[in-house]
């Protein structure tokens, strides 16, 4: 919803907050209308609002800053003051029109160069991480393996709950953390940006040189020069003839001088830009779509996110809206989503794959259905293909032993009686649990 406000283009308006608040209120009401046995207090609504707004604060602030930079006249004039001053200075010193125009070109290049360097660096970081980071160098299934490993290492039950109930959100924050950590440990933003700006500077100088050659060979005028120049740079810079509307330049005729001025002035422009290079500026200067973490999220998270109605395992299909049934190789025990034995407070430790082969029934919308015929229980069940088998990932057996107490507290239920943990589950070590993710072994 926040994305749809398009704040970077339209600016922040206080009504955004009202719209968001209404939206959240509606969602809560909708939720309460579902078969739940509780109501939310007003305090819950307020806490939820605060927590959401706290989370999106940075996004909104960043986007509004971008809007201001692009549209606020005061901001714009302030920024242009230095640029025009140096052009004016040249003019006062009696510079020729070619020298003045060269200076104008350099000033106009400043922003596109900056944007290009930040974007290129973000893409370089993505490429580097895609080949160097074990968690990010494959598909989502590979990523999930690393997420489960990290969860086990951190032993943080809250994070498990986030993973179980909002997997996409968890995957996203995992990727963001990986990117921040990679920047902290092994990627010098400054170094990469300096390399990129140097390359870009060379390209611009070459383009200027070739444009002069082109005009001299073809007896062209300054418009031909400019057209050739902008075209040469079109794949590396957001820079076009349009940027020169309103700039008088038709009396420029010394193209060698024009090229020389650019060659001479450009380094001071690029060093102005590079002075600001830092890990912080890298985070702020890029708009959302061009940030490394968002590119990676886009790349790895455009898959099916539908969860098994029994155990919450995520469908492994790599297409977001795919044909055919949802499916996943490894289901988990039902108790993970709070499933219990009817009439008891005992969490169910059976795996979906075992249940669908059994005569056990489950309750859905106050009706009983056989697990064997789970597809008849309605839409969310109908679309799943759960193959009956005995595949039980040791990872989840280890998990339920390790987190038995917190799991019981979380659901206010017990793992006992019928749902007692089989003794052999307790023999799995941390290493074996992790190994089972690697080998995908099933015993
Ligand atoms: Zn399942
Ligand atoms: Zn699916």
User: What ligand is nearest to the CA atom of residue 327?
Assistant: 2
Q: What region, left, alpha or beta, does residue 338 occupy, with left being phi > 0 and alpha being psi -120 to 50 degrees?
A: left
User: What tens digit of pLDDT does each residue of 338-385 get?
Assistant: 998 988 889 999 999 999 999 999 998 889 999 999 999 988 999 999
In three-state secondary structure terms, 326 is strand
Contact (CB, 8 A) for 100 and 87: yes
Please state the separation of Cα 160 from the chain's center in Å: 20
Give the closest residue to 254 by CA, choosing from 217, 209, 221, 210.
221
Please state the separation of Cα 313 from the chain's center in Å: 22
Pairing of strands 367-370, 361-364: antiparallel
Question: How far lies 159's CA from each of 19, 92, 133, in Å?
Answer: 30, 65, 21
What's the longest Cα–Cα distance across the chain? 95
Q: H helices then E strands: how many in the chain?
A: 19, 2
Res 443: pLDDT: 42
* Beta carbons within 10 angstroms of residue 257's beta carbon: 18
Q: Has residue 392 got a pLDDT over 80? A: yes
User: What tens digit of pLDDT does each residue of 288-321 get?
Assistant: 889 999 999 999 999 999 999 999 999 999 999 9
Contact (CB, 8 A) for 28 and 40: yes
Mean pLDDT for the stretch of residues 97-116: 92
In this structure, what token pair is assigned to residue 199?
A: 């390359």
Q: Look up residue 316 and give its DSSP letter.
A: -
User: What ligand is nearest to the CA atom of residue 322?
Assistant: 2
Q: Has residue 111 got a pLDDT over 50? A: yes
Q: State the distance from the centre of ligand 2 to the C-alpha of 386, rounded, in angstroms.
A: 12
Mean pLDDT for the stretch of residues 395-401: 94
Which percentage of the chain shows pLDDT scores above 70?
A: 99
Task: Say how far apart CA 195 and CA 281 lie, in whole Å.
Answer: 16
Mean pLDDT for the stretch of residues 220-239: 93
Contact (CB, 8 A) for 335 and 349: yes
| Residue 440 banded pLDDT, cuts 50, 70, 90 | low
Task: Say how far apart CA 306 and CA 312 lie, in whole Å.
Answer: 8
Q: State the distance from the centre of ligand 1 to the C-alpha of 331, rounded, in angstroms.
A: 4
Q: State the distance from the centre of ligand 1 to the C-alpha of 136, rounded, in angstroms.
A: 25
Q: Give exposure, 16-43, as e/b (b: 16+ Cβ within 10 Å).
A: beeebeeebeeeeeeeeeeeeeeeeeee
Res 189: pLDDT: 93
Q: State the distance from the centre of ligand 1 to the C-alpha of 351, rounded, in angstroms.
A: 7
| Residue 441 banded pLDDT, cuts 50, 70, 90 | very low
Res 442: pLDDT: 44
User: What ligand is nearest to the CA atom of residue 140?
Assistant: 2
User: What tens digit of pLDDT does each residue of 146-160 get?
Assistant: 999 999 999 999 999
Q: State the distance from the centre of ligand 1 to the C-alpha of 222, rounded, in angstroms.
A: 69
Lowest mean pLDDT among 36-45, 375-384, 392-401: 36-45
What is the residue-averaged pLDDT of the chain? Answer: 90
Contact (CB, 8 A) for 381 and 366: no
| Residue 26 banded pLDDT, cuts 50, 70, 90 | very high
pLDDT top residue among 11 and 82: 11
User: What tens digit of pLDDT does each residue of 262-274 get?
Assistant: 999 999 999 999 9
Task: Say how far apart CA 291 and CA 140 lie, in whole Å.
Answer: 19
Contact (CB, 8 A) for 96 and 254: yes
Q: In 286-415, where does DSSP find H-type helix?
A: 292-301, 352-355, 379-382, 394-402, 404-411
Mean pLDDT for the stretch of residues 408-422: 89
User: What ligand is nearest to the CA atom of residue 351?
Assistant: 1
Give the closest residue to 167 by CA, choosing from 26, 308, 350, 19.
308
Lowest mean pLDDT among 85-94, 133-142, 152-161, 221-230: 85-94
In three-state secondary structure terms, 361 is strand
Mean pLDDT for the stretch of residues 397-421: 91
User: What tens digit of pLDDT does each residue of 254-263 get?
Assistant: 999 999 999 9
Contact (CB, 8 A) for 364 and 378: yes
Mean pLDDT for the stretch of residues 212-239: 93
């Amino acid at each position: 919803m926040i994305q749809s406000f398009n704040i970077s283009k339209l600016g922040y308006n206080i009504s955004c907050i009202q719209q968001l608040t209404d939206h959240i209120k509606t969602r809560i009401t909708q939720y309460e209308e579902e078969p739940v046995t509780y109501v939310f207090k007003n305090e819950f609504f307020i806490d939820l609002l605060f927590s959401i707004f706290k989370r999106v604060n940075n996004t909104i602030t960043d986007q509004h800053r971008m809007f201001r930079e692009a549209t606020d006249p005061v901001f714009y004039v302030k920024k242009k003051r230095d640029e025009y001053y140096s052009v004016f200075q040249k003019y006062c010193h009696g510079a020729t029109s070619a020298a003045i125009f060269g200076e104008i070109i350099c000033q106009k290049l400043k922003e596109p160069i900056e944007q290009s360097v930040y974007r290129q660096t973000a893409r370089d970081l993505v490429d580097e991480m895609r080949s160097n980071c074990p968690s990010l160098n494959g598909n989502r299934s590979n990523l999930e393996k690393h997420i489960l490993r990290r969860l086990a290492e951190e032993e943080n039950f809250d994070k498990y709950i986030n993973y179980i109930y909002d997997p996409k959100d968890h995957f996203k924050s995992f990727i963001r953390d990986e990117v921040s950590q990679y920047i902290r440990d092994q990627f010098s933003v400054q170094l990469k940006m300096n390399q990129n700006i140097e390359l870009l500077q060379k390209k611009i100088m070459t383009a200027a040189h070739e444009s002069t050659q082109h005009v001299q060979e073809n007896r062209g005028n300054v418009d031909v020069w400019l057209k050739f120049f902008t075209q040469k740079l079109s794949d590396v810079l957001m820079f076009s003839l349009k940027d020169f509307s309103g700039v008088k330049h038709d009396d420029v005729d010394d193209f060698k001088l024009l090229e020389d001025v650019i060659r001479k002035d450009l380094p001071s422009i690029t060093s102005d830009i590079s002075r600001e290079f830092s890990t912080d500026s890298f985070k702020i200067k890029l708009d959302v779509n061009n940030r490394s973490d968002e590119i990676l999220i886009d790349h790895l998270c455009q898959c099916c996110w539908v969860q098994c109605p029994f155990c919450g395992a995520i469908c492994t299909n790599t297409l977001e809206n795919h044909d055919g049934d949802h499916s996943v190789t490894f289901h988990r025990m039902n108790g993970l989503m709070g499933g219990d034995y009817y009439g008891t407070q005992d969490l169910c430790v059976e795996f979906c794959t075992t249940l669908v082969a059994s005569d056990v029934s489950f309750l859905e919308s106050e009706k009983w259905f056989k697990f064997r015929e789970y597809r008849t229980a309605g839409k969310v069940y109908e679309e799943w293909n759960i193959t009956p088998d005995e595949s039980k990932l040791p990872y989840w057996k280890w998990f339920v032993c390790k987190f038995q107490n917190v799991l019981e507290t979380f659901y206010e239920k017990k793992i006992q009686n019928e749902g007692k943990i089989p003794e052999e589950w307790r023999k799995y070590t941390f290493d074996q649990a992790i190994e089972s993710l690697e080998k995908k072994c099933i015993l």
